[in-house]
Structure 1
Amino acid sequence: MKFKNILLVCAATMMLSACADWIFRIDIPQGNFLDKKDVEKLRIEMTKEQVEFVLGKPVVADSFDHDTWYYLYQMKRGMKKRGEDFRKELVIKFKEGKVSEVIGDFELSEEFETPLDQ
């Protein structure tokens, strides 16, 4: 009798585990989604207002250093079929209220080193 119960439990477990892909799980995006074409609009010596107009408000503004902005985006996939989880980051540093350095997972345009005024 015990053997039949164990066999029944094992069979039920295997059948239910096969249905795991039928359960819908949503993707969870967090942070600022940055499009490549928007990042390519960045130029050296842009003001903070101009950067905010192009990229939006940063997710994190450093409390101790008001001249560093962090744009973070993370996607946690609900189902592996839709792709892998990923994280993208862009850090913008300002000097005297103007962009001095941009670091992160995005490639900058060739015109980045050319200020908008020229």
Structure 2
Amino acid sequence: MQKLTRIIILSIALLMISGCSYFGVYKRDLPQGNLVTQGMVEQLRPGMSRRQVVDLMGSPLLEAPFDASQWDYVYRLDEAYGDVEQRRVTLTFSGGRVVDIEREGDFSKAPPLGDERGIGPDSEATSADQPTPLDNVTPDRP
């Protein structure tokens, strides 16, 4: 009986710790916020209207709650096994027009947008030999 109890306790203990891994858990890159590229920032000019900014950059991630004259576009990439990269563009408006553009972060290189395979499981149906749904679409003619 005592031997059976030891075997059961040992089995339960092995089962409990088998879910833990010595090598750590899987991590992935975590991008958050507005994607801000150097090309977008280079197109910003003082005197642009709010509508022109929204057309170029999209909606801001942050608007000052008590003063709507400041918009912040923030992009943050928390790399799984690396550093945290953050880019920030702060636009200040006066009379509905951009008067100041502040940049923070490294805009010289494009942020990584994922792996080459894309999102989702691999599928042989999307190989180059088989047509995709867009192959049969004819463009609109003027």
Q: Secondary structure at the match of 2:43?
A: coil
What is residue 68 of structure 1 aligned with on the other side? 70
CA contact (8 A) 2:86 2:105 kept: no
Number of corresponding residues:
88
- 1:26 matched to 2:10: no
Letter aligned with residue 39 of structure 2: K
The whole-number CA distance in structure 2 between the counterparts of 1:100 and 1:59 is 19
- 1:96 matched to 2:98: no
- Pairs within 5 Å for 1:1-118: 17=22, 19-20=23-24, 23-80=25-82, 84-105=83-104
Runs of 4+ in 1 over 3 A off after TM superposition: none
CA contact (8 A) 1:46 1:99 kept: yes
CA contact (8 A) 2:29 2:80 kept: yes
Letter aligned with residue 98 of structure 1: R
TM-score (norm 1): 0.66
Q: Secondary structure at the match of 2:60?
A: coil
The whole-number CA distance in structure 1 between the counterparts of 2:54 and 2:75 is 16
Q: Where do 5+ consecutive residues of structure 2 fail to align?
A: 1-20, 107-142
Give the deviation of 1:43 after TM superposition.
Answer: 1.0
What CA deviation, in whole Å up to 9, does each residue of 1:43-97 have, x standing for no partner?
Answer: 11000000010111000111111111011111112223xxx21111110001100
Whose relative contact order is higher, 1 or 2, with alpha carbons under 8 Å and at least 6 apart? 1
The whole-number CA distance in structure 2 between the counterparts of 1:37 and 1:104 is 13
CA contact (8 A) 2:63 2:72 kept: yes
- Greater helix fraction, Structure 1 or Structure 2: 1
TM-score (norm 2): 0.56
Whose Rg is larger?
A: 2
